[in-house]
């Protein structure tokens, strides 16, 4: 089928920009809590269709509009944490959010320009070039300038059959399947008979392969199931750091921990007690002794001051036969550290905004040993970086994440974050314990299923069991690089075809 000239047709001009903006906003509904996962295929297909008749410059604008829609609709909850709880002025809050959304949208602008400028029209673009380039874009934004892998397409599929590809190729592998099917939809619309047959075969392969992989366990049980208890303190975020509330907070966590029954492991959320662990040693010793009398170990989020009296760490404290720490490695920019010059820090101090940095934990930390199992720990947002966790996962029998999503109020953020945790369990094929300050605390199975969840926004003790597992999945063994290499080769092959053909 002959394509219209660039910039012409019904997918052009302001209409195309509005359509791209709306398609990007619709994509945010593919993720939790809405779960409309078909949009993770349909919305990229819409943008690909818009690019069919665009010039490189127009494609960049349309890609930018798509990104603004996705991240504007998908991360608006940052306003709650920055202004509502962080007490930043409205103008500064909006400036930071606009800057983040613009940075994320710029990736899609670059993608659009490259796609139209370098890729050939037709099947090479639909089946190789665009899926490869889009995948590389998604992967790059997950690590460049600290990275923001939120709303990667693959996360939409924690409840679809495609989730069974996660142990093979990770979340980006599931994203790649979304993009290949988006290209297949375009091929069904614009391609000839042979191309359409190939598109149908591709879609059948994606879903048929997922069905075949559903029966593959990848890992194997090790030892007996371990009873666990997750403690959800539900301390209101605007009350958490008030000095007068320290003792009531300690009392609440002590009382809830005493309700852990026969649990061999008790898990408390990120920075559970709002004080340096160094300053509450007697309280921690009391918790430890009480747990040990019941033959239980404790893993709890804590803030600690290093022995050098200079470095602060966001940590996971293990109270077992001994005391151990895991220090958070992937810190959140402008929340846990401030990548700004000294004079800006001084200004932030005058504005009475947080400006002190945490120190990132070192590479090569070891799993935490508790309740007879080795645990791969993550703290809050760092569970979004699955590739970074592979060495810890390979040495562990189960996963544990402590977080405090109360920063985002009653918004979709907590459910998006839970969906990310579920993907980590899927990739590793291991159980995952998730302790959150006011929800969603959960016991997640190796297939990403929610085995148990605590009621949100109220104190609770969530009981469950964890089955330790051994062995590695293909993803934990090899990480993102095989898929990234395939994406690069696919995009390069399509670009080579364009160069041989010359301008359209």
Please list the active-site residues.
270, 328, 380
**Residues for the chain: how many in total?**
504
Q: Which of 132, 139, 225 lies closest to 480 in space, CA to CA?
A: 139
Please, what's the b/e burial string for 180-219 (b: 16 or more CB within 10 A of its CB; e: otherwise)? Answer: bbbbbbbbbebbeeebbebbeebbeebeebbeebeeeebb
Judge contact between 354 and 302, C-beta under 8 A.
no
How many Å apart are CA 418 and CA 438, to the nearest integer?
13
Conformation bin of residue 455: beta by default, left when phi > 0, alpha when psi is -120 to 50: beta
Classify residue 366 by its DSSP letter. P
CA pair distance 429, 425, nearest whole angstrom: 5
Is 190 strand, coil or helix? helix
Cβ contact 375:396 at 8 Å: yes
Residue with tokens 């639909």: 126
**For residues 450 and 133, what is the distance between their CA atoms, to the nearest angstrom?**
33
- CA torsion 260-263-265-267 (nearest 10°) is -30
Three-state secondary-structure class, residue 419? helix
Taken in order 386, 391, 395, 401, the sign of the CA dihedral is negative
């Amino acid at each position: 089928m002959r394509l219209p000239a660039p910039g012409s047709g019904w997918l052009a001009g302001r209409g195309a920009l509005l359509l791209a903006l709306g398609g990007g906003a619709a994509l945010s509904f593919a993720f939790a809590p809405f779960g409309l996962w078909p949009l993770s295929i349909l919305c990229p297909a819409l943008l690909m269709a818009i690019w069919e008749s665009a010039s490189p410059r127009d494609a960049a604008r349309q890609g930018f509009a798509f990104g603004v829609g996705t991240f504007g609709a998908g991360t608006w909850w940052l306003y709650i944490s920055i202004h509502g709880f962080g007490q930043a002025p409205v103008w500064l809050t909006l400036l930071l959010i606009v800057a983040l959304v613009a940075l994320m949208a710029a990736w899609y602008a670059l993608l659009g320009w490259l796609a139209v400028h370098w890729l050939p029209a037709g099947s090479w673009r639909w089946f190789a070039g665009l899926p490869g380039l889009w995948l590389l874009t998604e992967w790059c934004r997950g690590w460049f300038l600290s990275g923001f892998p939120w709303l990667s397409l693959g996360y939409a599929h924690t409840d679809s059959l495609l989730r069974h590809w996660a142990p093979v190729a990770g979340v980006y592998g599931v994203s790649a399947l979304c993009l290949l099917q988006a290209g297949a939809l375009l091929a069904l619309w614009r391609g000839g008979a042979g191309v359409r047959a190939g598109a149908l075969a591709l879609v059948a392969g994606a879903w048929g392969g997922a069905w075949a992989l559903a029966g593959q366990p990848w890992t194997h049980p090790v030892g007996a199931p371990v009873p666990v208890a997750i403690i959800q303190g539900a301390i209101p975020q605007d009350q958490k750091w008030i000095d007068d509330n320290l003792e009531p907070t300690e009392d609440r966590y002590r009382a809830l921990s005493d309700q852990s029954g026969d649990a061999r492991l008790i898990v408390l959320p990120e920075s559970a007690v709002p004080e340096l662990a160094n300053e509450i040693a007697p309280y921690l010793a009391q918790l430890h002794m009480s747990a040990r009398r019941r033959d239980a170990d404790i893993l709890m989020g804590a803030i600690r001051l290093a022995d050098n009296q200079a470095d602060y760490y966001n940590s996971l404290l293990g109270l077992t036969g001994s005391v151990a720490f895991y220090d958070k490695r992937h810190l959140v920019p402008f929340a846990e550290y401030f990548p700004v010059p000294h004079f800006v820090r001084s200004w932030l101090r005058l504005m009475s905004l947080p400006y002190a940095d945490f120190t990132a934990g070192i590479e090569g930390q070891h799993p935490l040993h508790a309740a007879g199992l080795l645990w791969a720990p993550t703290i809050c947002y760092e569970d979004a970086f699955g590739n970074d966790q592979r060495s810890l996962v390979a040495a562990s029998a189960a996963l544990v994440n402590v977080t405090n999503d109360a920063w985002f109020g009653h918004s979709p953020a907590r459910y998006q974050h839970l969906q990310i945790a579920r993907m980590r369990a899927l990739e590793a094929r291991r159980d995952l314990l998730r302790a959150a300050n006011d929800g969603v605390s959960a016991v997640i199975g190796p297939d990403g299923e929610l085995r148990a969840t605590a009621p949100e926004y109220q104190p609770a003790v969530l009981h469950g069991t964890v089955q330790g597992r051994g062995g590695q999945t293909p993803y934990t063994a090899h990480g993102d690089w095989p898929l990234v290499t395939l994406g690069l080769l696919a995009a390069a092959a399509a670009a080579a075809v364009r160069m041989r053909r010359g301008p359209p």
